[in-house]
Amino acid sequence: MMSFPISAGLLDSMVLAIVSSEDTYGYEITQTMRKAVDVSESTLYPVLKRLQKSQMLETYDKEFMGRNRRYYHVTTKGAAQLSDYRQQWVEHKEKVDSILMLLGGNKETDKKNKSEEELLPQEA
């Protein structure tokens, strides 16, 4: 079980990232998500609907093996939101890492915190 629950914002941004690299359909999105995080396929429908409602995603249907497949496409608004999410994520990650990974030897943090290196010479 994951100790860190995935927030709605994180789900939105990950789905946006998947669709932004290439227009894709529901099954592929769920499979890609499941490779990285432990989410039920049922969580993703509401996420996709939400992103459509807020005009981050738009859909079109394509025929596949005699049936319809709904493809998702990132709008300009969605792309802008994604880059905003990515920036927020980097900041968030750095802040968390500055505490959580203090012993893990993050190079950037180590350069800034010489004093901590001195305290922990075995990690340098």
Partner 1 sequence: MGTMKRLEYMTILRQKLVDGGLGNDEINDALEFYEELFLDGGYENEEKTALNLGDPEKLAQQILAENGAVGFVRPEYKMEDAINNQGKQTVPPPQPDHNIAPDNRNLAAVILVIVTSVIWGPVLIGLLSGAFGLAVGLAAGIFSIGCAGIGLIVMGGVTAFQAPPVGVLLIGVGLFLIGLGVLIFMPFCKLVIGLFKKFFGWLTRSLKTVFNNVTNNKAVNENG
Overall residue count recorded for the chain in this entry: 124
Between the alpha carbon of residue 24 and those of residues 4, 31, 57, 74, 119, the distances in Å are 27, 11, 11, 10, 50
46/104 with CB nearer partner 1: 46
Residue 58 CB, shortest distance to partner 1, in Å, is 14
7/42 with CB nearer partner 1: 42
Residue 57 CB, shortest distance to partner 1, in Å, is 13
Structure tokens at 74: 């990132």
45/60 with CB nearer partner 1: 45
Ramachandran bin of 37, using left for φ above 0, alpha for ψ from -120 to 50, beta for the remaining angles: beta
Q: What angle do CA 43, 86, 8 make, to 5 degrees?
A: 25
Residue 64 CB, shortest distance to partner 1, in Å, is 9
Residue 68 CB, shortest distance to partner 1, in Å, is 7
Interface with partner 1 by CB under 8 A: which residues? 25-28, 30, 40-42, 45-46, 48-50, 67-70
55/83 with CB nearer partner 1: 55
**What residues have CB less than 8 Å from 45, skipping those under 6 apart?**
26
